[in-house]
């Protein structure tokens, strides 16, 4: 009996690993940010053209996120994940194979589409396979793994820059082990678990009716607008940081290691967030917004000092994480 229980726990752990592995690539669009100055130089592109390689996937991502639920309902969650991860892998390495900018740009659009297909499933699959208490724990792990994935891919992309500007795109080959883990460890059939740890099933129709009858508070809409502005600012910082650092130091400067550290700081901020939120509650967002505004101003005027730029870009990332977490905590 103990052996059976041990096997079951081991099997559940492997299932969790298979599902969580998807989150390693849900923010992989930004893995090549440190390579942008090198791409611009090698292909003789305008700054706007090279930045588009990072920003344009977001549009396809947003569109596919809207339809991913419909797609997974039609063809199944597993097939949707396999297709999405497959698209990321195949289109992600196209820039390694060609120097044609229009083709590279198209490949980045499809990359965003692939990420959009799996983004919501990376969360919903956890709720589908695990009970509430375990699911809550795994969702916390998922957020950290997402940051670890981006930090790892950014760091590896920085190392591959020593080979050529195209080599960093090989980081998308990570989709191969992810596909293997997902298909080997995640069972094809699963029973949707209940709401509480005693295993009582949720009345899905009742839950749906409650959601339909509830009205969204105007404060929630304001927070949504604020979060959208913060995300736009964050993407701008991510895209421009490497170019600003390169302008300060030299043409061949590799900013990828600093970008990886930025993500680790975001993880630390996420870990410490709970304690600060307990002390300050929603007032925390006022403090972090002030820090966010100050860091933006200083970063915008730090074109001559790399230490100042790095120090305040880290504070910008930390305050972004705090603002986002506070907003979600308030809505929840």
CB 159 within 8 A of CB 40: no
Query: Structural domain tally of the chain?
Result: 2
Query: Do 99 and 223 fall into the same domain?
Result: no
Do 225 and 194 fall within a single domain? Answer: no
Answer yes or no: is 1 within a domain: no
Q: What is the mean pLDDT of the chain?
A: 79
Per-residue pLDDT tens digits for 258-301: 777 776 776 676 666 666 766 777 777 788 888 888 988 888 88
* Residues 216 and 183 reside in one and the same domain: no
Q: Please give the structure tokens belonging to residue 227.
A: 């979060």
89 falls in which pLDDT band (50, 70, 90)?
very high
Domain end residue (candidates: 151, 185, 200):
200
Domain boundary among 179, 200, 221: 200
Do 132 and 24 belong together in one domain? Answer: yes
* 5 domain-assigned: no
Q: Indicate the residue among 200, 216, 250 that finishes a domain.
A: 200
Quick one: 184 and 238 in the same domain? no
The pTM for the full model equals: 0.71
C-alpha torsion sign, points 283, 281, 229, 255: positive
Cα-Cα-Cα-Cα dihedral sign, residues 148, 106, 242, 171: positive
Tell me the per-residue pLDDT of 201-231, one tens digit each, with 9 for 90 and over: 444 444 444 444 555 667 767 777 777 787 7
214 plus 324 within the same structural domain = yes
Which domain range does residue 248 map to? 207-332
pLDDT digit string, tens, across residues 311-324? 888 788 777 777 76
CA 200 to each of CA 36, 127, 159, 279, 325: distance values in angstroms, whole numbers, following the listed order: 51, 14, 50, 34, 30
> For residue 159, is it within any domain?
yes
């Amino acid at each position: 009996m103990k052996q059976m229980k041990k096997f079951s726990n081991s099997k559940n752990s492997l299932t969790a690993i298979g599902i969580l592995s998807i989150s390693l690539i849900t923010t992989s669009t930004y893995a090549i940010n440190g390579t942008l100055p090198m791409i611009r130089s090698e292909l003789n592109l305008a700054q706007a053209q090279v930045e588009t390689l990072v920003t344009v996937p977001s549009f396809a991502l947003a569109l596919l996120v809207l339809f991913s639920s419909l797609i997974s309902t039609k063809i199944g969650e597993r097939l949707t994940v396999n297709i999405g991860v497959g698209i990321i892998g195949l289109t992600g390495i196209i820039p390694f194979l060609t120097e044609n900018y229009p083709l590279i740009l198209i490949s980045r659009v499809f990359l965003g589409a692939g990420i959009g297909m799996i983004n919501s499933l990376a969360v919903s699959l956890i709720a589908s396979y695990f009970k509430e208490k375990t699911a809550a724990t795994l969702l916390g792990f998922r957020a950290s793994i997402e940051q670890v994935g981006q930090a790892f891919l950014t760091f590896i992309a920085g190392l591959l820059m020593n080979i050529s500007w195209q080599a960093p795109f090989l980081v998308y080959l990570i989709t191969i082990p992810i596909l293997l883990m997902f298909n080997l460890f995640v069972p094809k059939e699963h029973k949707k678990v209940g709401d509480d740890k005693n295993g009582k099933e949720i009345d899905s129709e009742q839950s749906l009716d409650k959601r339909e009858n509830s009205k969204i508070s105007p404060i929630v809409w304001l927070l949504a607008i604020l979060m959208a502005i913060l995300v736009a600012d964050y993407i701008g910082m991510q895209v421009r940081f490497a170019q600003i650092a390169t302008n300060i130091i030299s043409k061949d400067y590799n900013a990828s290691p600093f970008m990886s550290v930025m993500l680790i700081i975001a993880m630390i901020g996420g870990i410490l967030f709970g304690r600060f939120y307990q002390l300050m509650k929603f007032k925390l967002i006022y403090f972090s917004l002030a820090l966010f505004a100050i860091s933006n101003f200083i970063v915008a005027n730090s074109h001559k000092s790399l230490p100042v730029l790095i120090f305040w870009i880290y504070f910008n990332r930390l305050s972004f994480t705090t603002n986002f977490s506070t907003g979600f905590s308030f809505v929840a």
